[in-house]
Amino acid sequence: MFSNIDHKALAALLHGQGCANSLKTLLDNREISSVLIEPLINTILDSFSLALSFVDSPNPPLHHESSSQNMAGLVPQRSSKKEICGIHVIKNYRDESPTPRPDDGFTWRKYGQKTIKTSVHQRSYYRCAYAKEHNCNATKRVQMIQDCPPVYRTTYMGQHICKSIPVYDDTYGSEMIQFDQVVSESVMPIFTSTDHEAITIEEDKATDHTMNQECDINDFLVAYDHFWPNEFPSFSYGDSVFS
């Protein structure tokens, strides 16, 4: 089952989900008041930051002091999530485009490919192209998880410290991640980019039994084809910006 940290990350996400629901209710009722809305938005953003921090960082930042009290009880601490050589898994994205998207804002170099026992598809391994020059430890794994339509899972690991220039507008920061709507209580919330293009986040284990068992509540999938045709909402992770 989930670790204590996973529970806290989930709790943070659910907290943000609840606030997103409240925000939606306000908007539905045309109660467009900054006094009401801003605290909710701040709390939602903090929920994301905190949830990510449980996964990624021993010292998670809180972007909005104004709402940090709302997250009382969700004390950040070092994630107990699976580590490989001290590197934390960061994100999984599901790419429903015919080919895995290479232009995620960083330059990658393929260094390996393996047939995975639990999947008929091979898994490709990439590391940052500047791994040696800048001692950047960022890596990613790309694996097809479905033939029709082609679906790829990309798992990002480590942090980019190479300061490579993201393809997408850097004006998006972590604070630009926002909830647009919440589909249901049983579905993870939806990210949107700044043009409000919906990005579905699915909990992985419940739906993908063909993959190997690397995913937990912290790993989620994003429909790339919803994501990439528009400006990718880069989000900060420590000193890195993930796109």
Which spans of this chain sit near DNA (rule: CB under 7 A)? 84-85, 108-114, 116-118, 123-125, 127, 129, 139, 141, 212, 214
Residue with smaller CB distance to DNA, 26 or 116:
116
Distances (CA, A) of 159 to 29, 135, 151: 42, 11, 25
Residue with smaller CB distance to DNA, 109 or 196:
109
Separation between Cα atoms, residue 43 and residue 63, nearest integer Å: 10
Residue with smaller CB distance to DNA, 58 or 102:
102
Residue with smaller CB distance to DNA, 19 or 145:
145
Q: How far is the CB of 82 from DNA (least distance, A)?
A: 8
Peptide bond into 233 cis (omega under 30): no
Separation between Cα atoms, residue 227 and residue 122, nearest integer Å: 24
**Helices of type H across 57-187:** 65-68
Q: How far is the CB of 220 from DNA (least distance, A)?
A: 17
- Reported as type and span, the H/E element at residue 8 is helix 4-28
Residue with smaller CB distance to DNA, 115 or 184:
115
DSSP character string of 162-177: S-PPPSS-TT--GGG-
Q: How far is the CB of 117 from DNA (least distance, A)?
A: 4
Q: How far is the CB of 127 from DNA (least distance, A)?
A: 7
Phi-psi bin for 237: left (phi > 0), alpha (psi -120 to 50), beta? beta
User: At residue 35, what are phi and psi to the nearest 5 degrees?
Assistant: -65, -40
Residue with smaller CB distance to DNA, 5 or 44:
5
User: At residue 143, what are phi and psi to the nearest 5 degrees?
Assistant: -140, 135
Q: How far is the CB of 214 from DNA (least distance, A)?
A: 6
Q: How far is the CB of 137 from DNA (least distance, A)?
A: 9
Q: Which of 156, 151, 134, 191 is nearest to 16 (CA)?
A: 191
100: number of Cβ within 10 Å: 20
